[in-house]
Amino acid sequence: MMPRDFALAALNRADSSQGFQKRYLETSLEENPGLSDRDRAFIVHLVQGVLRWQIRLDWIVKQAVRFPFKNIEPLILNILRLALYQIFFMDRVPESAAVNEAVKQARGACNKRVAGFVNGILRHICRERDRISFPDPGRERDLYLSVSYSYPLWLVEKWIGELGPDVAERLLDAGNRIPHTVIRVNTLKTDRQGLLERLNEEGVTGSTSVYSPEGVILQGLKGPVNRLTAFKEGLFQVQGEAAQIGSHLLLPRPGDSVLDVCAGMGGKSTHLAAMMEDKGLILALDRSRSRLISLLQSAIRLGEGPLNPVVADASGPLSTFLRYSFDKILVDGPCSGLGVISKNPDTKLTKRVEDIQRLARLQATILNQAVHLLRKGGRMLYLTCTISREENEGVVEGFLERNSEIALENLKSTIPEWGLDLIDDNGFFRTFPHIHGMEGFFGALFIKK
């Protein structure tokens, strides 16, 4: 199978769950170890690029066809998207190569008639590429931003309403940048300088992150990060900088008892274990058994002991089966993920405006269940990777109204000095891709009186 065929297969996997194509592609590449690093990078670039720019690519197709856009079969549409992404966003791929490969894919998957349609549409677009009609920025500002930056119109309108047009446009632009791979040094085994030296020995250059004291930004990485000997030896974990900072907000100490309510793959659980010097108790709760298995595998690789996985739904009555009060609780609940679009561009395509309220209600439910397990004087951190008032301040306000024994702590009084400018005037942790060069996160810290 050729690299473009791998990319097409991933895009054809219709699934509305966030990150599905990425997970499918990772599995597909693992099952084909004979692919070169160059081909692997090309495949990932194609899939992520099409997802990142799909709304704009579809607009271009709509200008070129003389029948309803919805009548184009999904398979043919993905062939067109792949070719157009190469034509408009990949300078090193000649137009003729992109068109010819698309025609081959259409001929192999369908028939000569469809292949002729693909050939005609793509060659027409290539001839007219400098005369393609886009929305007028003066008369249709929101639609212009939606098409130009390839975001759904509802999200453009939402961010303009919350942040203003100029800030919103900078945020849209930042979300389209291809992110660097960021890792966190495992302080149980080495320090940041030691890790940088080990990476350099393997031909990988790293630089220190701006804020997180454990963060390293990788450059010159060829191939999957898990091929590195430093990874296999447990010297680091892949984790974004904003997520790393989130763990510091909870102020974990050696000997603490900690509940990670929505532990997922365990990035924050393993970070908390390292910050606690592997002393204490961490209960990692998630409703997915497979995610918890991955968490345990990471913990073993990192050499961590105090992690205890529990399969459970955090939105259910946790206190009915957990008869224990915790010093610290982390609630990194399911959210819309609008702050990590650069890493998960399919978020633009899978999330809908109605998801925001639904997720806000779910987050509030999880918080109200988890608070019963917090001891008096204990702290609970609410963390999201989204830029959405309903899921952030709205959830915090509703939670405080419902729980009179809970007070909000101003994070300026607890965060280390290196993170002070990440705390807003209301005492919330807040990062933005266009300002801080990292994922968009929100955090609020509560204490039980």
Cα Rg of the chain, angstroms: 23
CA gap 406, 397 in Å, rounded: 11
Say if CB 370 and CB 325 are below 8 A apart: no
Which residues, in sequence order, are bridge partners of residue 285? 310
Cα separation, 414 vs 331, in Å, equals 18
Residue 202 φ/ψ, nearest 5 degrees? -95, 10
Q: What is the rounded distance in angstroms from the CA atom of residue 205 to the CA atom of residue 108?
A: 42
For residues 126 and 95, the answer to whether their CB atoms sit within 8 Å is yes
Q: Which residues contact 214 (CB under 8 A, 6 or more apart)?
A: 184, 185, 187, 192, 244, 271
User: The dihedral of CA 93, 94, 95, 99: what is its sign?
Assistant: negative
CA angle 23, 27, 33 (to 5 degrees): 145
From the candidates 110, 126, 262, 385, give the one annotated as an active-site residue. Answer: 385
- Structure tokens, 25: 């592609």
Q: Is 385 a catalytic residue?
A: yes
C-alpha dihedral over 347, 351, 353, 358, to 10 degrees? -120
Distance, in Å, from the CA atom of 205 to the CA atom of 439, rounded to the nearest integer, reads 22
User: Could you give the C-alpha distances from 199 to 40, 203, 221, 223, 243, in angstroms and in order?
Assistant: 21, 7, 10, 14, 22
* CA distance from start to end of the chain: 61
Sheet hosting strand 181-185, strand order edge to edge? 205-208, 215-219, 181-185, 236-238
Residues annotated catalytic, as ranges: 385
